Amino acid sequence: MASHATGDGGIPPRDATERGLKRVMSLGGAYGTRNYTVKDLRDQKGKRVLVETLPFSPDEAAAAEAAGIDTMKVRFDPSQPALAATIRRAAPNTFMSFSVPLVAAASETEAVRLAYDAMALGADGIMCQWSPRFISAAAEAGVPVQGHAGLVPRKSTWTGGLRAVGKTLDEALWVYREIKDLENAGAWAVEVEVIPSELLAEITKRTTLLTSSIGAGSGGDIQFLFAEDILGTGPPPYPRHSKQYRNLYKMQQEMQAERIAGFKEFVDDVEHGGFPGPEHVVRAPAGLIAEFVAAADADLV
């Protein structure tokens, strides 16, 4: 029963309450503490804009939680689930959806199974690019589902490639209907990618879903940006919709240059007798080597 007293982060119930955390049990049966539940997040609609990111490493997830990020999405590879599980443990108190691969489920049954696998690793929900039929199956099974609308990169052939969507009346209505279909299928939220900001603001008023905006302006309920964009971990050019708050790529390049320089100096030092020096070696006690030589030579006779 001791496991019932603390959450994933080992926080006693009273301390969790004082920190504003909610005690929860995951769909997989694990007790934990979270900053938000689905109900809490839905209650925020129209009251404040939440912030969301997708970390790629445990260090990024831990930093995002420490900084007060509201929600996270994590890529979930069912063939290699360890990374997602490690990221979950690195940010134990933050609401986290696992982003499941589009092509990993080819039926409603497989969709539910994949969703359950994600939830068993500690996800609070899933994010997917599935059809409403698959989403309906997972939602009926009790899994909180965030859908995807607007520019859906893996389905971009239907919308003319990797470009903004919703700049004509037909496209705007299509995006709206897609979101309403997700709503009717039982999703609780939807990621909306690269549509006009004004369009997202109007759609947000007309759906019960929480709209997570990436490249769709400030008209949504959640503002979403990848950790690699926030931290600047990759080289330019950067997506137009992104903003870099740090330049870790430059720091990484400088660190790599320092690594190379360090290895070169080591090679040079060895070649020229600078390493090892007297301070790096152990000296034999007086007389030991003479005794060793005499004994060794005697063994050879």
Two tokens, residue 301:
């006779």
- Selecting among 140, 193, 228, 271, the annotated active-site residue is 193
What is the chain's Cα-based Rg? 27
Residue type, 50: L
Query: 193 an active-site residue?
Result: yes
Dihedral angle computed from the Cα positions of residues 130, 136, 140 and 142, in that order, rounded to the nearest 10 degrees: 30
* H or E segment and range at residue 149: strand 145-150
What is the rounded distance in angstroms from the CA atom of residue 3 to the CA atom of residue 5?
A: 5
| Backbone phi and psi for residue 271, each to the nearest 5 degrees, phi listed first | -65, -30
Residue partners of 235: CB distance under 8 A and separation at least 6: 249
Catalytic residues: 193
